[in-house]
Each structure stands twice: as structure tokens, then as C-alpha cells.
Amino acid sequence: MKNTDNNYFSNCLYRVEQLQQGEEKAAKACSMTMTQLMSAAGKAVFKQLKQRFPAPANIAVCCGEGNNGGDGYIVARLAQEAGYQVQVFALKPNAELPKPVESDAHRARSAWREQGGREKALLDCAPEQFDVVVDALFGVGLNRALEGDPVIWVQRVNASTTPVISIDVPSGLNADNGHAPGAAVRAHLTVSLVALKRGLLTGQAQDHIGELVLEDLGVGESFQQQNETDWFRVDSGALGDWLPVRPRCTHKGEQGHVLIVGGQPGMSGAVILAMQSALRAGAGKVSVACHPEVQAIVAAAQPEAMVHGIRDEESLQPLLRQASVIALGPGLGQSHWSHDVFKQVMKTDVLKVIDADGLNLLASYPIRSAKMLLTPHPGEAARLLKTTTGEIAEDRFAATLQLREKYGAQVLLKGAGSLLVTDRGKSLIDRGSPAMASGGMGDLLTGLVSGLLAQKMAPAQALIAGALWHAMAGEEAGKEGERGTLASDLLPYIRRLVNGYGRDDD
């Protein structure tokens, strides 16, 4: 994401309500009127357009009735003055303006008309006839599904290959939570104005925003000073020296002991991936407690690990006592053996990273503990919260907070724009690749986080760093092709990242 010079501010994520209530106050503190702020918005969007599409490109500017439409009329006027071929398509073409004109949006529209600009009906827009479409239909205030003509227009825009620049938010997308309740524009570029809206970086938004640019319009610093936020975007520069250089005299006993519990018959691959990831993350020792029938398979996959077949409580208890961190869930299954093992592990006071069937069993045996790190995908989150995957998708922020409250654990809700609620606060990670849409990726993450914990990284830090490095490793592996990337392809990149290589390649 491109942003302003204030890197800290560009990682602050705000709610729509804060923008609606705070931008006028921020503008006033900078001696700007709201009319001047709208003018600055139009100029900022036009600047981005001009950088990508030089005159005399053929431009369609599609305007709604609110301030977002006002921004669009300013873009249209500036483009026409600069020699572009401009056509404006309005939701309510040639609507009569009140006299005297009072709103800034109406002033912008009036100025377009005074310059000789005309307006056509929205559905007269044929996107394929233009070099670029400017989406100024609906802004951040929209929190419902589109209806009527806008739906047809969005479908046409999305079906064409013409690039789209969306002002502030792609029309139809909820800027507060990243959910598209109906049709929504798939933009090639989204220019977020004043401050970054949190919903632009998570969930369905990832398929709609395209390239994201923040233009603070000269009031960003003032807005930041006047508005607190508790959600922050994480980049690799924020991790600092969380995993410091090892002393020359260190030994494996000082680098922690990970116990991975899982691997029932037919599911040995999951526990193998978690085991390998924990080793590549730098854990001093890694043990595996698996079903006896898969012990030989798991042991043959990695000679550096210690693999134990577990039949009963007596064979598991010594391993639980030796572990400094437990990874519970990869390949665990939901058999009688799985339930028995789960109950035994949950009795211990050892820090636990819980994923996969560990989470599904936790939903059946709800336990509240600060000694847990939970890493659900939306389906697992739905089971933990006794709801549906669809409801999780509608507000990922709320779901993550509910998981934290219900289980008392530190939580990572995986997916496009992963969300974390930890002892360090609320974080969002918008890294990763579609190449990671294959089996075993979650098992790698479980092993990676466990390996970091074993090396005495604080739990919140291990969850954040593990999620970020996992996503970055996926990006690197995916450079050879988004299709066909395997979870094991990430292992070499995980090793590089935990050793400090490539951490600043944002």
C-alpha cells in the first residue's frame, strides 16, 4: 500500500464513524473549510489519475448524490481543464439544484455545469468505451446492499476490462468491516481520503480495492491527534528485534521444546508440516505425540524430531511435563482417541497454540484460559462462536473480539486481512498470497508460532510475528505461480525470515 510520509499514521485504521465525525474538526484545525477539503480530495484523486492515464485519455466519471459524487464532479472538471475527454454519468442526471446552493457536493456539481459539463444517466455508461472509469457513486457512509440501477452499473463495470478508480471506497463495499452485502465495484485503484478505513484491508475488500493509496489531504496529522484508534496495520518494520541474534554459547536446551499433539490415522501430513515448521522456526527441540499407527510415518519424515506413539494418558503425561509450549490440533481428528488426548492436554498449565481439530474440540469443551493462542479460520471461528461462517464474514472485527472475550485467549482470525487481538492490542495483517489457498498452510502457522514461543518470544509477539512471516513466506513461494504452491514450499522462506532476511521488503 502506498501512503503518506507519516508511516505511523498510514498504519492507523479508523472506523467510518470517526471519519464522519472527525474530518471537519481536523480540517478546521488546519484552517481549511469543508469546501476546501472537498476540493483537495478532488485534486488528490485527479493527481493519481493523471499519473496513470495521461491526457487526452477518455474518462467516464460516475457520480452519486452525496459528497463522494461531489469529489467526482471536481475530478471531472479538473480533467476537462487538463485536456482529457470527459463524460459524467449521474445517478440522478440533470437534477435541479437548490437555490441558493448550500452543500459542497452541490457546489461541485454546479461548477461542473457552469464549465459547460453535461450529465448522462448512469446506465448510459458503457465502460468498455473508456480508458478509465472513476467510481464516485457511493462513499463510506453506505452500509447496505446496492439496489436498482447501481447494481446493473456495477455488474457492467466489473464485467469490462476498463480500469476503475474508486474514490474513498469501491461503491457497494462496507468500509467499516470489508463486507460486500451485494454488488460492489472491483476497483483497480482505491484512493482513501483523510485516513485509512479499517474495512479496506480485510475480508472481501481484498478483492475489491485493487491498489490502495492514502491521501490525507493535508489534515492527516491533525486527524490523528484528535482521533484515537485501537486497530493497527502491522508491517515487518514493527517487529524490530523481537527475535534477537543468538548468543554464541547457546545450546538446544535454551531454545525451547515444542510438543506437537495430533496426527491420527490418515492425517499424518498435518502434524509433519507443523513439526517441520517448528524446527525451521528455530525451536531447540521438537517432539510429536501422535497416534501409534502413524508414528513410523511421522518419524521417517524428519529425523531431527522425536516422535512418540500415544495410546493412553500414561504415555502422554511425561511428554506434557517436558514441553515449554504445546501445539494442539494438526491432524488431531475427532475420534475417541482425539477427545481423550485433547482433554489431557487441556488440563496442563503449559502455553498452547490451538488450531484445526483442536479448535473444533474446544468448541465442544469450552474452556476460558489466558494460556491459549487460538488461530481459527472463519469456519472454525463460526463453530467456536456457535454461529455461521457468513455471519463471521459480515464483521470479522466483531468476531475476533467475541472470540477473545469468550475464551480469554489471544486470537488470530485468519483469512485475507488477518485480524489479531492480543495482549499488545488489536492488529491487522494484510500480507499473503492467493497461492496460500491450499492444504497444510494452517499447520505451518501453528508450528511457526510454537517455535517462536519456544524461543521465549512473548505470546502476543509470537502470534503477530508468526502470522506476518507466514504471510510473507507465502508471498515469496507464490512468486513462482499462485496455482500449485504447496505448504512445504514455504519452509525455506520461513527459515530466512526468522533469521532476519527479507523482513523489510514491504
Tell me the average pLDDT across 342-348: 97
Q: Is residue 250 part of a domain?
A: no
Q: Is residue 16 part of a domain?
A: yes
Q: Is 177 annotated as a binding residue?
A: no
Of the candidates 385, 326, 332, the residue with the CA atom closest to the CA atom of residue 361:
332
Residue type, 64: G
Residue-level pLDDT at 1: 54
| Residues 85 and 170 occupy one common structural domain | yes
d(CA 128, CA 111): 28
Q: Is 145 annotated as a binding residue?
A: yes
Q: Is residue 329 part of a domain?
A: yes
Q: Is 284 annotated as a binding residue?
A: no
Q: Is residue 443 part of a domain?
A: yes
Which tens digit of pLDDT belongs to each residue from 121-145? 999 999 999 999 999 999 999 989 9
| Residues 164 and 285 occupy one common structural domain | no
Please answer whether residues 410 and 374 qualify as being in contact, where contact means their C-beta atoms are separated by less than 8 angstroms. Answer: yes
Q: Is 139 annotated as a binding residue?
A: yes
Q: Residues 158-162: contacts with CB within 8 Å, 24+ apart?
A: 158/183, 158/185, 158/186, 160/127, 160/128, 161/128, 162/127, 162/128, 162/130, 162/131, 162/132, 162/133
Q: Is 68 annotated as a binding residue?
A: yes
* Cα atoms in the 13 Å half-sphere on the side-chain side of 461: 16
Give the domain-ending residue among 232, 267, 293.
232
pLDDT above 90 (res 325): yes
Q: Is 418 annotated as a binding residue?
A: yes
d(CA 335, CA 350): 24
Domain limits for position 338: 255-431+439-491
DSSP, res 95: P
Q: Is 168 annotated as a binding residue?
A: yes
What ranges in 90-148 are assigned the alpha helix state H? 104-114
| Residues 145 and 264 occupy one common structural domain | no
Give the domain-ending residue among 199, 232, 265.
232
Q: How far, in Å, are 253, 356, 488 from residue 377 at the CA level?
A: 33, 9, 19
d(CA 35, CA 107): 9
User: How sure is the predictor about 241, in pLDDT bands with cuts at 50, 70 and 90?
Assistant: confident
Q: Is residue 502 part of a domain?
A: no
Q: Is 71 annotated as a binding residue?
A: yes
Of the candidates 321, 285, 248, 239, the residue with the CA atom closest to the CA atom of residue 455:
285
Q: Is 499 annotated as a binding residue?
A: no
Q: Is 270 annotated as a binding residue?
A: yes
Residue type, 373: L
User: How sure is the predictor about 29, in pLDDT bands with cuts at 50, 70 and 90?
Assistant: very high
Please answer whether residues 260 and 332 qualify as being in contact, where contact means their C-beta atoms are separated by less than 8 angstroms. Answer: no
Residue-level pLDDT at 477: 97
Which tens digit of pLDDT belongs to each residue from 176-221? 999 999 999 999 999 999 999 999 999 999 999 999 999 999 999 9
d(CA 254, CA 91): 66
Residue-level pLDDT at 165: 98
Q: Is 443 annotated as a binding residue?
A: yes
d(CA 197, CA 394): 16
Other C-beta atoms within 10 Å of 483: how many? 9
pLDDT above 70 (res 2): no
The order of strands in the sheet holding 132-136 is 119-121, 85-90, 58-63, 132-136, 164-167, 189-193, 211-215
Mean pLDDT of the chain: 96
| Residues 177 and 40 occupy one common structural domain | yes
| Residues 293 and 205 occupy one common structural domain | no
In the numeric block, the cell 508440516 is attached to 273
CATH of the domain at 448: 3.40.1190.20
Q: Is 144 annotated as a binding residue?
A: yes
- The total of structural domains in the chain comes to 2
Residue-level pLDDT at 7: 76
Which tens digit of pLDDT belongs to each residue from 384-415? 999 999 999 999 999 999 999 999 999 999 99
Bridge partners (DSSP) of residue 354 are 328, 374
| Residues 317 and 403 occupy one common structural domain | yes
| Residues 340 and 465 occupy one common structural domain | yes
How deeply is 92 buried, as exposed, middle or buried, from its count of CB atoms within 10 A (0-12, 13-18, 19+)? middle
DSSP, res 369: -
Q: Is 414 annotated as a binding residue?
A: yes
| Residues 288 and 150 occupy one common structural domain | no
Q: Is residue 385 part of a domain?
A: yes
d(CA 300, CA 489): 19
User: By three-state DSSP, how is residue 385 classified?
Assistant: helix
Q: Is 174 annotated as a binding residue?
A: no
Q: Is residue 242 part of a domain?
A: no
Which tens digit of pLDDT belongs to each residue from 363-390? 999 899 999 999 999 999 999 999 999 9
pLDDT above 70 (res 23): yes
pTM of the model: 0.94
Which grid cell is 461? Answer: 509477539
Which grid cell is 83? Answer: 485536456
Q: Is 141 annotated as a binding residue?
A: yes
Residue-level pLDDT at 506: 45
Using alpha carbons only, what angle is made at residue 342 by residues 337 and 346, rounded to the nearest 5 degrees? Answer: 155
Which grid cell is 490? Answer: 514455504
In the numeric block, the cell 497461492 is attached to 435
| Residues 35 and 117 occupy one common structural domain | yes
| Residues 219 and 260 occupy one common structural domain | no
Q: Is 218 annotated as a binding residue?
A: no
CATH of the domain at 117: 3.40.50.10260
The answer for residues whose C-beta is within 8 angstroms of residue 236's C-beta and 6 or more apart is 468, 472, 503, 504, 505, 506
Q: Is residue 243 part of a domain?
A: no
pLDDT above 90 (res 502): no
Which grid cell is 3? Answer: 501512503
| Residues 329 and 470 occupy one common structural domain | yes
Which grid cell is 275? Answer: 513439526
Radius of gyration of the chain, Cα coordinates, nearest whole angstrom: 26
Please answer whether residues 198 and 14 qualify as being in contact, where contact means their C-beta atoms are separated by less than 8 angstroms. Answer: yes
| Residues 393 and 474 occupy one common structural domain | yes
Which grid cell is 173? Answer: 463495499
Q: Is 363 annotated as a binding residue?
A: no
Tell me the average pLDDT across 161-184: 97
Tell me the average pLDDT across 237-253: 89
User: By three-state DSSP, how is residue 327 classified?
Assistant: strand
User: How sure is the predictor about 503, in pLDDT bands with cuts at 50, 70 and 90?
Assistant: low
